[in-house]
A and B are shown apart, each in its own frame.
Chain A
């Protein structure tokens, strides 16, 4: 459904993403985990058209979309729920939701609004309230619901759990699984690796702009490096720092690096 090949994205001279390859199949929940500043948000912004990659290709339903504007990409069926929710604070909850369907010209918008209210009863209660007056969890639900109003094939969520209480995080994750079961493919970006990997089918680990590890959620959770770095078991350590240079690999001779998807000499050895 979505395929990124050899994507590199720059902020001016600064490289934020480096040769990223990533694939999302229809019906999957794919988690993208990584620390602050790893490039997770940059990756989503590159997919949704806010940023454009310096090279590489983004394919959506086998169509290249890397040089479409953000406004056009929404209409193709990719909905991006941005980090820190970004609800329209001065507008009412129902206006927020209706704006989610702004580009749609069909008549089913009202129907979808009811469907969304069914999924998020709290939003129905608060539909007349200004978006900015909701609690953090409610705003996150509003942001997700607003994203769903465009009837996306692929929903991209940027750190939906950030700043929320554990109970609310669980609720959000339940909603994500629910949405997937109803037929929406999901790309979930999280710092909260534990929560993300629990609901995901597959996952990618992003570190300083590169995908350093990929696998099924189970494999990732069992991976020693992931456990140490992201699941709070043992000390933090980097998974890999090997770099792709022009025409070859520059491997670091660092004994802490056990696995690396970049470097052929330290391919992840499945136990």
Chain B
């Protein structure tokens, strides 16, 4: 394969993987902006979305093969229902774990989400055992070939769905009063409360929204990779790295971070070794934190110099 087509191939794969990271990162950012919490159960929303969609659309043995789920719904309906169910799970997480801890420090709340992650993982293990699950591709047909690089139809679905979600989120935050109220809450919670914006309701909304985005991300990658009860862990971690790359509070940053991380990973895996694929994300994370810290230190110094110290 010529280098050109090889690079193009890495780019295609990178953008596809990166889209998923971007969606997970968006979930992190939405909750973090409104509540200050880093929700480490974010990847589990993706896992749950995928597994619920599988259960609804194909014959799936569940609960240690005691029951067989035989809904056999058409795929689009299954997907919509799955997103709704996972949104509901997001709300349940908020009411059961976050709301009762009202007044606790942010660190405690973050630790609660880590607990929620293990709870989701455990429940998923009980429900679906340790089997890997897949979904059929959304549209049949051969892959596209561009300059010797292969782009599957499912890759296009992933990129397309990400783009649609981004557009929908943009419209929601820029054009609707509810979206603006959510942003107001993120900018200044006290002032938002004084406007009669219910901060608790906004926090609930952020959890529901993040759960829905996460579920969609999980569903759309499941045809190209397998999903199991423990897939949430690595999705959370990668999405977290992507969110940090983007600064943790900007939706655009999260998307750019996700795409960059996806591209770094595939290029790194391609040129160095696929064994290092996962290490790359964390090397990137360390590099960013290191640079930020040293920049922060230098800024601090120059501020001291400005005031003549």
Contact = CB atoms under 8 A, between A and B. Distances in A.
A150 B190 contact: no
Interface string A74-106: 110001101000111111000100111011000
A151 to B, nearest CB: 11
A90 B187 contact: yes
A98 B177 contact: yes
A89 B181 CA distance: 13
Contacts of A146: 195
Contacts of A217: none
A70 interface: yes
B284 interface: no
A75 B196 contact: yes
Given A86-B188, A88-B187, A91-B187, A48 B180 contact: no
A71 interface: yes
Range, interface on chain B: 10 to 19
Contacts of B193: 50, 70-71
A75 B197 CA distance: 10
Contact of A88 (B177, B184, B196, B199): B184
A75 B195 CA distance: 9
- Provide the main secondary structure of the chain A interface: mixed
| Size band of the interface chain A makes with B | 20 to 34
B287 interface: no
A98 B175 CA distance: 12
Nearest to B194: A80
B197 A102 contact: yes
A189 to B, nearest CB: 14
B180 A86 contact: no
| Those 4 A-B pairs whose CB atoms lie nearest each other, nearest first | A103-B196, A74-B196, A86-B191, A70-B193
Interface of B: 177, 180-181, 183-184, 187-188, 190-199
14 contacts: A50-B190, A50-B193, A50-B194, A71-B199, A74-B195, A80-B194, A82-B191, A88-B191, A89-B187, A90-B187, A95-B180, A102-B181, A102-B196, A103-B196
Given A82-B190, A88-B191, A102-B195, 16 more contacts: A71-B197, A71-B199, A74-B194, A74-B195, A75-B196, A86-B191, A86-B194, A87-B191, A88-B192, A89-B188, A90-B187, A99-B177, A99-B184, A102-B177, A102-B181, A146-B195
